[in-house]
Amino acid sequence: MPDTTPDTNTDAGPLIPRNRAAHPQVHDVEYKTSVPRSPRWPLLSMESTPSEETGPRFGHDILGEYDNNLILNWTKGAAPAIGERIRVHGRVLDENARPVPHALVEVWQANAGGRYRHVKDGYFAPLDPNFGGCGRTLTDSEGYYEFLTIRPGAYPWPNRGNDWRPMHIHFSLFGHSFGQRLITQMYFEGDPLIDQCPIAATVKDRAQLDNLVAPLDLGQSRPLDYLAYKFDIVLRGRRQTMFENKLEGM
Catalytic entry in 168, 176, 236, 238: 168
Q: Are 113 and 125 in contact (CB under 8 A)?
A: yes
Tell me whether residue 37 is one of the annotated catalytic residues: no
Which of 8, 220, 53, 183 lies closest to 105, judged by CA?
183
Catalytic entry in 31, 145, 155, 226: 155
Tell me whether residue 165 is one of the annotated catalytic residues: yes
Catalytic entry in 165, 176, 236, 238: 165
Tell me whether residue 40 is one of the annotated catalytic residues: no
Catalytic entry in 31, 102, 116, 229: 116
Tell me whether residue 168 is one of the annotated catalytic residues: yes
Q: What is the number of residues in the chain?
A: 250
Tell me whether residue 170 is one of the annotated catalytic residues: yes
Q: Where are the beta strands (DSSP E) in the chain?
A: 85-93, 104-108, 134-138, 144-150, 155-157, 163-165, 168-174, 182-188, 213-214, 227-230, 233-234, 242-243, 246-247
Catalytic entry in 85, 89, 117, 170: 170
Catalytic amino acids?
116, 155, 165, 168, 170
